[in-house]
Structure 1
């Protein structure tokens, strides 16, 4: 059984935390070519009697990217989903917290999602804002 505190501690030990609250963390990972990518992890409220963890990484400002192309690129099978939140195009992955394996169900999706978000940000914006 994994707790939200274990997820927080795992992130704090391994990554540069930029901002945090009781329910989320925002941190940065290094990616290819000297680029970096921000990622957020949220503790989602129990809606079905089970807590969830959401990993998300920004690709660009929604009004500055081709959203159709964004959705096409986000359709890759290794990704969880795509969304626009507060005007930011995001890649997202959600997993149940209680049975979460830190290595297989957190770290692996985290690194895949962050890597893909960075590639998409570079392709869609030609920048490294996030």
Structure 2
């Protein structure tokens, strides 16, 4: 997979797309720790980015809390101790875990593994920080 179009085709075939724009897809992933646990979901934005007007990248981003609802130092310390892929950023009023990958020569596992890691980490952070399932 080496183009945005090919990645979009894969995402449409493999995930539940909830919003489809030319440069951005939104999908919803479902999580359940144990069969008897209530299902939780996480919304993920997958966007095409162009670096230096020449290199295509894909950005995976998922919100997990509102900035005004948490202690940023504690959140960043938790991410530093537990998160392997992605980093936290403030986007508007939300704390977002995101990760970016170059599309050139991208293998499918180089997309799906970070997607699952970023989304799963954001879901755990959301549950731990807010105790809710808003995103």
What residue number does 1:87 align with?
93
SS at match of 2:128: helix
Moved more, 60-69 or 83-92: 60-69
In structure 2, distance between residues paired with 1:124 and 1:69: 9
Alpha-carbon contact 1:53-1:96 (below 8 Å) kept: yes
What residue number does 2:106 align with?
100
Larger radius of gyration: 2
Structure 2 stretches lacking a partner, 5+ long: none
In structure 2, distance between residues paired with 1:88 and 1:14: 27
In structure 1, distance between residues paired with 2:53 and 2:78: 31
SS at match of 2:51: coil
In structure 2, distance between residues paired with 1:127 and 1:99: 38
Deviation, 1:77, is: 4.8
Count of matched residue pairs:
129
SS at match of 1:5: helix
| TM-score, structure 1 normalization | 0.92
Correspondences of 1:61-80 after superposition (within 5 Å)? 61-75=66-80, 76-80=82-86
What residue number does 1:52 align with?
57
| TM-score, structure 2 normalization | 0.89
SS at match of 1:98: coil
RMSD between aligned residues? 1.4
